[in-house]
Amino acid sequence: MATILIIDDDQQICEILEAFIRREGHRSLSRQTLTEGLQQLESAAFDLVFLDVGLPDGSGLELVRRIRSTPGEPEVVIITGAGDADGAEMAIKNGAWDYLQKPFNLKEITLTLSRALQYRENLKASSVKEDPVDSQGIIGSSPVIHDCLTTLAHAARNNASVLITGETGTGKELFARAVHNNSKRKESRFVVVDCAALPETLKESALFGHEKGAFTGAEKTSEGLVKQADGGTLFLDEVGEMDLPLQKVFLRVLQEKCYRPVGSRIEQKSDFRLVAATNRDLDKMVSEGTFRNDLLYRLRTVAIELPPLRMHPEDIQAIILYHTGAICRNFGIEPKGFSPDFFQVLCAYSWPGNIRELVNTLEGAISKAGEEPILFPMHLPDAIRVHVARANLKGDVPPQATTAYQVRKKSEGLTAVPPLLVPEPSPAFPSRPDAMPSREEVLTQADQAYLKHLMRVTRGNIKEACLISGLGRTRLYTLMKKYSISRLGWSSADHGEDDACPSAPLE
């Protein structure tokens, strides 16, 4: 017996579907708004959700991913009276099971219901305990990143070709390396081919190698990148920059796993797994005749579409914490704390350069702060602060707040900036010289605030806290014990508890 939720503001539709579902032997509930539906989904596990598009507090299309990430991870069937091709595409890309247009007949609903539930049963029956994915520094717990990691995990278990798409700076090479490092080929080479940087006259030699004397300057036999990837993974970065003649040659190599070095009459074999990445629209290039459709089909056996940072602003804080620790470790300085408005400014910016731009901005802010223990907006580039100030004066919604975020804002009562767990603000210094605290006292307060915040964000996971902060396990425990910081994220001195840092890890 399955449990099914209907989210539709048409009471008659809800009653018809509820009666039908009960006749099929399943349990059903209905809600008339996204807010009520999400509350219900968070409180109980459902197998399937029938979701309307036009609801009083937002569009159901924008919440498909979030619904799929609720405790039951239900399948989602979109039902709408105003269907359109773009809406159907968006629903499917966001993970919907099906997209039905009203008025629908019961035969259509019966078929969709039975197949969706059969799929879930097959999934449960075939599921086995899998090793956790080594995310290789991929930070984020938003539904869109969760979907990307799920696809990555599936891809890593086989040798199918993978195409990773996304804007510049979204982490395409990071995902490509994660596919390799989670596969059975992880002990072999991960070979990167920058298709945009292949020398025009020597591109085939660079890829396939050459024999001695094959051309002027070929003084010895050389092994190409394809051969180097034998047994491992060949990563074609910016594959959209590959010209048509080379596409034709590479298509055969991909099909046969055979190639001929320049100047050689003998074919050689290379057992490589192909991962490709691009920030270009390859489908558009196919229609324009600048990319081969048969090669695209080969590349896109498994597709991972990475979202721009503005589509998952809820991950910004975790990215900041992770990379701040790594940057401070590389600079050889103590970890930094943050003022609440530092987070707010970063979350109100659109990040056209995505995660790469965010990390570079953090590195610049930390460099500018020097020995100062707390990062403030003043440490950020003027361009970012001006952009955010202009947006605030105009009363604009933060640029990264997509339609999905606006719906979530309405349903959860969020403020203009997503709620963040921020450390306590830095102390307001007294104006009288005799009351001014020592530098050591200020640094102690900053350490305490940072560690308490670190425990909250990581939920007491010591391994994750070490990765984020750049501290060794022993050093982290020493500091937590020194300041009576518990793994629950507050000091036992503040709360009268006796559960300060344990003597051994418990994660």
Q: Per-residue DSSP letters for 178-211?
A: HHHHTSTTTTS-EEEEETTSS-TTTHHHHHH-B-
Instruction: Choose the final residue of a domain: 307, 324, 357.
Output: 307
Among 185-189, 305-309, 328-332, 391-395, name the one with the lowest average pLDDT: 391-395
Same domain, 238 and 362: no
- What's the domain count of the chain? 3
Q: How far is the C-alpha of 259 from the C-alpha of 209, rounded, in Å?
A: 10
Please indicate, yes or no, if residue 138 is contained in any of the structural domains. no
The predicted pLDDT at position 163 comes to: 97
- Is 119 found in the same domain as 15? yes
> Which structure tokens are listed for 225?
């990148």
Q: In this structure, is residue 406 part of a structural domain?
A: yes
CA–CA gap between residue 404 and residue 406 (Å, rounded): 5
Residues constituting the chain:
507
Let me know whether 148 and 17 are in one domain.
no
Q: Is residue 503 part of a domain?
A: no
**pLDDT tens sequence across 439-464:** 667 677 777 888 888 887 777 788 77
Instruction: Tell me what pLDDT residue 382 has.
Output: 93
Residue 71 belongs to what domain range?
3-126
Question: 1, 25 in Cβ contact below 8 A?
Answer: yes
Domain termination residue (choose one: 249, 278, 307): 307
CATH (domain of 271): 3.40.50.300
Average pLDDT over the chain, rounded to whole? 82
88 lies in the same domain as 210: no
| CATH number of the CATH domain containing 18 | 3.40.50.2300
Boundary (domain end) residue, out of 286, 307, 328: 307
Task: Out of 22-26, 134-138, 243-247, 296-300, pick the least confident.
Answer: 134-138
* Predicted confidence (pLDDT) at residue 126 exceeds the cutoff of 50: yes
- Is 250 inside a domain boundary? yes
Residue 307 sits at φ, ψ, to 5 deg, of -80, 150
User: Looking at the domain assignment, is residue 506 inside a domain?
Assistant: no
Query: pTM higher than 0.75, yes or no?
Result: no
Q: Is the pLDDT of residue 410 over 50?
A: no
Same domain, 159 and 181: yes
